Copies of this chain bind each other. A is one copy, B any other.
Amino acid sequence: MGAGGFCPFVTQSYRAGDELYVEGDPVHHVWFVKQGTVVLSRRRSDERGDRVRTVRFAGGFIGIEALVSPVYIDTARVASGAVLCQAPIQGFEQWLGPKEMPARTALEASVQAMVADLPPRAAADGSAEQRVAEWLTHESQNTLQLPRRVIADLLGMRPETLSRALASLAARGAIAVTRTDLRIMDEQQLETIVRTG
């Protein structure tokens, strides 16, 4: 029961394979898992089908990225028979209570962090060069000034491999690197490299 004792959730049964939403869809609902398992997967950078990212069990929320993102960040599929409670975003937000409430602030920060952590970091997907290109296009702004050794960790590779990948991207003219500087020269080409290698 939320503020004012109203509950926006509707309980419903699902069958294995049912798709709640697809990555990139505009957000519309949030679910709570009462029973069963829901599998969350994300597209591979090179469009060779999905890759399961994680699994949610009873007690978990699905699609909670709706709080901070205009679109869903994964595709959600019911793994086996499941019982879920569904609420439209607006009802969900109302249920949560006022935006200024501390718990809600913390929730949004936490979800924001979850969303931000995902994209390229999640796990090895694509070659080192592709991962570096993705990082450069999508989230290098904040992390560009961090030591290379740290960047390498974030991207799940060795410093040597990062160094080689950067050198290769530089050779292709997509970026300009020195050991103290890193500038993007051709965003377009980086995008291409992310997709095709």
Contacts and interface: CB of A to CB of B under 8 A. Distances in A.
A14 interface: no
A55 interface: yes
A59 to B, nearest CB: 6
Contact of A154 (B54, B101, B109): B54
A104 interface: yes
Interface string A27-50: 000000000010101000000000
Nearest to A122: B123
- How many identical subunits does the complex contain? 2
A104 to B, nearest CB: 4
B150 A39 contact: yes
Interface residues of A, number: 47
B55 A142 contact: yes
A41 B153 contact: yes
Interface stretch (A111-119, A163-171, A184-192): A111-119
A146 B101 CA distance: 39
A117 B153 contact: no
